[in-house]
Structure 1
Amino acid sequence: MNDKARKKPAKAAKSAATQAPTEPVLLSGGNPQIAKGYGDAPVQAYIAAMPGWKSDVGRRIDEIIVRTVPGVSKAVKWNSPFYGVGDNLWFLSLHCFTKYIKVTFFRGTSLRPVPPGQSKHPEVRYLDIYEDQLDEAQLTDWVKQASELPGERL
């Protein structure tokens, strides 16, 4: 092997090692790309990476869930935070879009009143939250109801 061939890999490794960490990538619609993980840390990383006003609303949603469901389980899967009870049983997830945050209730048709957004999945219902439109009392009620229903294994 000649000297030129030996130097290329070392140079490439050196430049990769000196690059500074970057902000999380925002996928289409502004959804943060966060590595899959279980627990509070990946969910908080997702919330911190939510663009603009969505980060503050995401933090408020997370606080409502934690306050309403003591001991709630958390994870990030498919670039979305999931909230559940028990072992891998999820009742709610979040996802960022360009102009709103979508809250997914996996057993949403069992909630009263039923959340407004329909899904192609028979039991799933959505709540789209736009800037300055978070109804904390209604969300708290739905979170309480949803956490008491059988969770979805995903």
Structure 2
Amino acid sequence: MAEKTSANPAKTEKPVLLSGGNPQIPKGYGDGPIQAYIAAMPGWKSDLGRRIDEIIVRAVPGVRKAVKWNSPFYGMEDDLWFLSLHCFTKYVKVTFFRGASLNPTPTGTSKYPDVRYLDIHEGKFDEAQFTDWVKQASQLPGEKM
């Protein structure tokens, strides 16, 4: 019986990492699923995830949060999102769903004309620019998902 008890918390504490190191987290709304995702981000990415979340919460009062498709989403209303995150082996990708409207425009392009990406590599996070983009993005119409 003690073995079952010790095995279950280990599964809870260490979610499966998908290809590229993205945590597999059950979908859900609110801060809880986001914090579970951030805690499961591998290595330096977890600290970055915490910092990104703190910046978004501070810059956008009343921000809504959810984990969908193993990625955190942030928006002004449930199911209308302005930003999401995803872990890859060497960086964290931030997706701005209306990023083409941001000034300056993030450099990562997409096959979708409005979407822009920001790939954040270890030690290469411009917090001031990110904060500005988050404030701008939160004022634009959200993407329904």
With normalisation by structure 1, the TM-score equals 0.88
Q: Which residue of structure 2 lines up, in the alignment, with residue 77 of structure 1?
A: 68
Unpaired runs of 5+ residues, structure 1, are: 1-13
Structure 1 runs (4+) deviating above 4 angstroms are none
Does 1:109 find its partner at 2:100?
Answer: yes
Which one has a larger percent strand, Structure 1 or Structure 2? 2
Tell me the distance in 1 between the aligned counterparts of 2:5 and 2:35: 27
2:65·2:78 contact (CA, 8 Å) conserved in 1? no
Aligned ranges for residues 36-115 of structure 1 at < 5 Å? 36-115=27-106
Larger Rg: 1
Does 1:128 find its partner at 2:115?
Answer: no
Q: Which residue of structure 2 lines up, in the alignment, with residue 4 of structure 1?
A: none
* Alpha-carbon distance, 1:37 to partner: 0.4
Tell me the distance in 2 between the aligned counterparts of 1:147 and 1:48: 25
SS in 1 for 2:143: coil
Q: 2:7 aligns with which of 10, 20, 23?
A: 20
Tell me the distance in 2 between the aligned counterparts of 1:87 and 1:32: 22
SS in 2 for 1:102: strand
Task: Give CA deviations for 1:50-109 in whole Å, capped at 9, x if unaligned.
Answer: 000000000000000000001100000000000000232100000000000000000000
Give the direction of change, closer, same or farther, for the CA distance of 1:18–1:67 in structure 2 (3 Å limit): closer
- Amino acid in structure 2 at the alignment position of 1:81: P
> Kindly, what percent of the aligned residue pairs are identical?
78
Unpaired runs of 5+ residues, structure 2, are: none
SS in 1 for 2:123: coil
What is the alpha-carbon root mean square deviation over aligned residues? 1.4
* Alpha-carbon distance, 1:41 to partner: 0.2
33-42 vs 85-94, which moves further: 85-94
With normalisation by structure 2, the TM-score equals 0.93
